[in-house]
Amino acid sequence: MRYYLVAGEASGDLHGANLMKELKKLDPQAEFRFFGGDLMQAEGGTLVKHYADMAFMGFLEVVANLRSILKNLAFCKQDIAAYHPDILILIDFPGFNLKIAAFAKQQGLPVYYYISPKVWAWNQKRVLKIKKVVDHLFCILPFEVDFYKDWGMEVDYVGNPLLDAVAAFKPDADFLQRHNLGSKRIIALLPGSRRQEINYLLPDMLAVADQFPGYQFVIAGAPSFNADYYHQYLKERDIPVLFNSTYDILNNAYAAIVASGTATLETALFNVPQVVVYKGNPVSIGIARVVVKIKFISLVNLIVNEGIVKELIQQDCNPTAIGAEMDLILNDAAYRQTMLANYDTLDEKMGQPGASAKTAALIRKYSTQ
């Protein structure tokens, strides 16, 4: 069977790769063509466009890059039409993928959507569009099932694919020695995978590193950038940038400063106390504050529905505030233990690994009915 997948971010690349791996087990003749990244490419098939050329965050940033986005949309539609896949699988990335879904339905293609758009956060009426253009929706957050049910839409809850990725992780026993990290406790810096995120967040993270010279800070580099890109921020600081090593960094970390996104949940799954940070264009953030109707921005807090990790957003995201929270995490034993205990609650809500296998099995089931 011929599968066409569209993932537009680093997290989508990870989940897409794991899904492809499971699909190959059920369909040894599977052929893949996709928008994605290095991890999906490692599973085989044809990478048409890398997510590094597609990910724009923030309202103003989208407007500023509208020509590129429209060009990517047109190219994706043309490529899908030329490839004639049996199945289209869209992975998160809703601003782009819902438009592709509408196009695919017009072409008579079955549309499978893996990882629900966050319609529960804002503009909930988008569910009505999803019902029209998506044949099967696979959700990874427990509360999404009831949300869609309230809108009259039946969806499949498959668990969270990050559990698969963490369960499959094999630690590098020589990681510390290989990178000359020494004996200091490690604080992980995860500034995101998009250029805008890194530009806004990394300078503040590095300023915090200056406050804690007794710790070894390590930057998890995004694969879509090279070391030179990060070194422009580092200046004379002796802080390593390690690529394709995020899980090894977290596996050895004592604490972390994390850009809001998938990485917050990964950090919690590795049982690393963290502070969540987010900063963007002031106008974009102002618009988001008006239209987004959720109490939290981090997946950790959203899933538990409680503020178990500190979120520092926009003007609150500064070296002083981040440093104060990091001081609590590092030096207040009771504070640290409470966060770790709350991670246990998160683990219970998350359930067991197997999301990728469940989704692959459902795709095969629905496609052969």
| Residue-wise DSSP of 304-355 | HTS--SEEEEGGG-SHHHHHHHHHHHHH-HHHHHHHHHHHHHHHHHH--S-H
Q: Which residues contact 233 (CB under 8 A, 6 or more apart)?
A: 198, 202, 203, 206
Q: Is 90 exposed, middle or buried (0-12, 13-18, 19+ CB in 10 A)?
A: buried
130 pLDDT exceeds 90?
A: yes
pLDDT at 150: 92
Which tokens sit at 94? 């809703």
Q: Which amino acid is at 256?
A: A
172 pLDDT exceeds 90?
A: yes
165 pLDDT exceeds 90?
A: no
In a domain, 138, yes or no: yes
In a domain, 167, yes or no: no
Q: Are residues 153 and 99 in the same domain?
A: yes
Q: Are residues 358 and 346 in the same domain?
A: no
Q: Are residues 332 and 262 in the same domain?
A: yes
Question: Residue 54's domain spans which residues?
Answer: 2-159+354-367
Q: Are residues 340 and 191 in the same domain?
A: yes
In a domain, 166, yes or no: no
Share of the chain above pLDDT 90, in %: 74
Q: Are residues 192 and 341 in the same domain?
A: yes
In a domain, 170, yes or no: no
pLDDT at 295: 81
Q: Are residues 269 and 343 in the same domain?
A: yes
Residue 38's domain is classified under what CATH number?
Answer: 3.40.50.2000
Which tokens sit at 81? 């039409």
In a domain, 26, yes or no: yes
In a domain, 291, yes or no: yes
In a domain, 164, yes or no: no
**What is the overall mean pLDDT for the chain?**
91
Cβ atoms of 73 and 99 within 8 Å: the answer is yes
Condensed to tens digits (0 to 9), the pLDDT of residues 109-125 reads: 999 999 998 888 777 88
Place of tokens 């695919």: 104
pLDDT at 131: 95
Indicate the pLDDT class of residue 57, thresholds 50, 70 and 90.
low
How many domains, the chain?
A: 2
In this prediction the pTM is 0.76
> What is the pLDDT averaged over residues 67-89?
94
Length of the chain: 369
pLDDT at 281: 66
Q: Are residues 276 and 208 in the same domain?
A: yes
Q: Are residues 127 and 179 in the same domain?
A: no
Measured in degrees and rounded to the nearest 5, phi and psi for residue 249 equal: -65, -50
In a domain, 338, yes or no: yes
Q: Are residues 55 and 99 in the same domain?
A: yes
Q: Are residues 138 and 179 in the same domain?
A: no
> What is the pLDDT averaged over residues 66-83?
91
Q: Are residues 344 and 359 in the same domain?
A: no
> What is the pLDDT averaged over residues 222-248?
93
pLDDT at 3: 98
Condensed to tens digits (0 to 9), the pLDDT of residues 7-46 reads: 998 889 989 999 999 999 999 999 999 999 999 999 999 9
Q: Are residues 152 and 185 in the same domain?
A: no
54 pLDDT exceeds 80?
A: no
Better-scored residue on pLDDT, 246 or 291: 246
pLDDT at 337: 98
Q: Is 331 exposed, middle or buried (0-12, 13-18, 19+ CB in 10 A)?
A: exposed
Share of the chain above pLDDT 70, in %: 93
Better-scored residue on pLDDT, 195 or 54: 195
pLDDT at 214: 96
pLDDT at 143: 82
310 pLDDT exceeds 90?
A: yes
User: What is the DSSP code (8-state) at residue 185?
Assistant: P
